Structure 1
Amino acid sequence: MSKVIFVTGAGRGLGTDIARQALAAGHQVVATGRRPEEVEKTLGGPQDNLLATKLDVTSLDDAHAAAQTAVDRFGRIDVLINNAGNFFAGFFEEISPEHMSQQIETNLFGPMNVTRAVLPVMRRQRDGHVITLSSIAGLVGAEFNAAYAASKFGLEGWMESLRYDIAPYNIHTTIVEPGFFRTELLVEASTTWPEPTIDDYAERTTATVEAWKSINGQQPGDPAKLAHALLTIADQDQSPLRFLAGADAIEGATAKAKELLAQAEASRELGGNLSYDDNA
C-alpha cells in the first residue's frame, strides 16, 4: 500500500538510499535537505511521486514549512524518517562548547523540530509512524564519542518517552540503532575532526583521528540493505519499538544489557535498602 514517506537528510548517504527505494516501491516521497534542487537531481530529477523540499533540521520554521508543503502536495504524512545527522568527534576536553552545542542541536533538537512539525498532521489522521535514526552509540558510550553519544543517548530517552505521549492517537515510534554502515557519516561533509589542543591528549587525538578516517569506506554494513529494512519496518502492522541494525550493533547491545543486569545485581544490597523506615 502506497504511503507518504517524509525523509530528512535525503541528499546523500542513507537518506538517498531510503528515498530512492521508497520511490521504486511506489511510495510518495518527501525528500528534504538544505539544497532541494540537489536532492531532486540525486534522485533522478522531477517525478510525480517526489517532492524535494528545503529543510535545515535545526530550523523549526523550515520544519513547519516542509510539513505544510508535504500536506499541500500529498494530503498527508504517513511515515517520518528522522535520518539527518552529523558527527563531532573528539575527547570531551578538546570538543569546544560551541561544537558540543552544534552536535546536540543537529542530532537531538533537529529530529525534535521535524517531529514537532509533523505530529499535528499525524494526530489529525489518527495514524502515523515516527522512525528515528539513533546509533549503537546511543546505547553504548565509547572513546572519542562524547558529543555524539550525548546527542544519541538524549535521542533515545526522548523517543522512548514520546511513544507513550502519542500512542493513544495510533502513532507508533521506532528507534533505529545502526552499527557501522558504509554511509557518508565519516566523510568531511558530515564529520568535524578535532585539532589537538591539549598536550595530554595530542598523541591519542592524532592516532584516533587517523584510525577513524581509515574506517571510512570499510564499514561492514550495507546502507542499501538498511534502507530496505527501514521500509520493511514502515510497512509492518506491529512496528518494533527498537531496531538493532547490523551484527555489530546486536552484539554491542547484548553486551550492554548483560552489563546493566550485572550492575543492577551488584547494587541490590546497598542500593535496594534506601527507603524510609516508617516504623523506626
Structure 2
Amino acid sequence: MSKTILITGASKGFGRIWTEAFLQQGYQVAATARNIEPLTELVSKYGDSLLTFPLNVNNREDVFAAVEKVHDHFGKIDVLINNAGYALFGAIEEASEQEAKDQFQTNFFGALWMTQAVLPIMRAQKSGHIIQTSSILGLITLPFLGLYNASKFALEGFSETLAAEVKDFGINITLVEPNGYASDIWKNETHSQGIAAYDEIKKINSESGNSGSFGNIEATADAILQLVATENPPLRLLLGKVGLPFVKHHYAQRLSVWEEWAEVSEIAHGN
C-alpha cells in the first residue's frame, strides 16, 4: 500500500531531492515550503500524487491547519519529514536576540509544532514515522555555527524523548544526521553582524575547513527511501561517509575526559 508523506522545506536541497524520489516510487506526497514555485514542474509531472502549498512552520496555528489539510486531502499521513531549516553563521557573541530566536523558531519550534500537529493522527492510525532532519552538528559542534548547533542539539533531545513516549502507539522516530553536503543551506548563508575581534579566528577556521569532503545531496535519496520503507527504522541515521568517523573521534574524547574526572564525579554523589 502506497504511503502518504508530508515534508516541509521541500522546495530545495534535501527536501526537493527527497520529494521527487518519493514520487518516483509511487508515494503520495504533500510538499510544503515558504516558496513552492520551484515545485511547479513536479506538480505538472505527478498530478494528483503531489499536493503543494506554502507554509511557514514558525506559525503554530498555520502548521496545525496545514496538517489537517493534508489529512483531509489524502485521508492519512504515514510519514512526516521535518526538513525546514537554515543555518545562522557567526560567533555566539555576534548573534542578536532576534537572530537567535529566529534560528530556534524554524529549526526547533517549527519541527515541534509539526510533530505535535501530526501525533493525534498517527495515534489514531496506530502507526506513523516522524523523521527529523538533524545534523552531525546535533551531536558535535563546529565554531561559528553555535546557534545552529544548539538548535539541532535541542531537536535531538526532544526527539529522543518523544521516541520513548510514542513507541507504544506504533509511531517511530528517526533523527537523520547528515555530515556536510553541498546544499542550499550553505549557499544561502545568514550571517550575524561581525565583531572585528573574531576576524582572524574566522579566517583560520575557514582555511582549515575541507569543503572537498562535502557529500552529494542527490546520493541521499536511496538512503531516505530505505528509511521510509523499513518496518524497524533506527532512532538515528548518519548520512555521508564523514559523519561516523568524526562523531566517533569526538565521543572518544568526551569519554576520556569523563573517565579522567570519574573520581571527582563519584565523590559529588555524596554516599
Give the TM interval when normalised to the shorter protein. Answer: over 0.9
More helix as a share of residues: 2
| Moved >6 Å (runs of 4+) | 209-212
Alpha-carbon deviation of 1:119? 0.9
Identify the range of structure 1 (132-141 vs 267-276) with the bigger mean alpha-carbon deviation: 267-276
Q: 1:270 aligns with which of 244, 258, 264?
A: 264
Contact 1:10 1:39 in 2 (8 A): no
- Give the superposition deviation at 1:195: 3.1
1:44-123 superposed matches below 5 A: 44-45=43-44, 47-123=47-123
Q: 8 Å contact 1:54–1:62 — kept in the other structure?
A: no
Q: After TM superposition, give the deviation of residue 273 of structure 1 in Å.
A: 2.4
In structure 1, the partner of 2:149 is 149
Shift of 1:62: 1.7
Choose which of 198, 206, 229 in structure 2 pairs with 1:201.
Answer: 198
Query: 1:124 & 1:147 partners in 2: Cα distance?
Result: 36
Q: For residue 249 of structure 1, what is the aligned residue in structure 2?
A: 243
CA distance in 2, matches of 1:224, 1:175: 19
Distance 1:210 1:84, change over 3 A: farther
Question: Are the aligned partners of 1:39 and 1:52 in contact in 2 as well (CA < 8 Å)?
Answer: no
Instruction: Give the whole-Å Cα distance in 1 for the aligned partners of 2:207 and 2:270.
Output: 53
Structure 1 residue 227: deviation in Å?
A: 2.5
Aligned pair in 2 of structure 1 residues 276, 172: CA closer, same or farther (>3 Å)?
same
- Describe the shift of the 1:7–1:211 C-alpha distance in structure 2 as closer, same or farther (beyond 3 A): farther
Matches within 5 A, 1:25-44: 25-36=25-36, 38-44=37-43
For the aligned residues, what is the CA RMSD? 1.9
TM-score by length of 1: 0.90
Distance in 2 (alpha carbons) for counterparts of 1:256 and 1:240:
21
Q: After superposition, give the CA deviation of every residue in 1:210-267 in whole Å (9 maximum; x if it has no partner).
A: 988x94xx55312122122112111101101101111111111111221222122112
CA separation in 1, counterparts of 2:208 and 2:51? 39
**Are the equivalent residues in 2 in contact too, given 1:17–1:224 (CA < 8 A)?**
yes
Please tell me whether the aligned partners of residues 213 and 242 of structure 2 are also in contact (alpha carbons under 8 angstroms): no
TM-score (norm 2): 0.93
> Is the 1:11–1:42 Cα contact (8 Å) retained in structure 2?
no
What do residues 140-188 of structure 1 show as CA deviations (whole Å, max 9, x unaligned)?
1111111110101111111111101111100000011100112111122
Q: Distance in 2 between matches of 1:180 and 1:24?
A: 26
Q: Give the match's secondary structure for 1:159.
A: helix
CA distance in structure 2 between the aligned counterparts of 1:203 and 1:262, rounded to whole angstroms:
31
In structure 2, distance between residues paired with 1:47 and 1:40: 12
Gaps of 5+ in 2: none
Across the two proteins, how many residue pairs are aligned to each other?
Answer: 270
Which residues of 2 match residues 193-232 of structure 1 at below 5 A? 193-196=191-194, 198-205=195-202, 215=211, 220-232=214-226
Identity %: 36
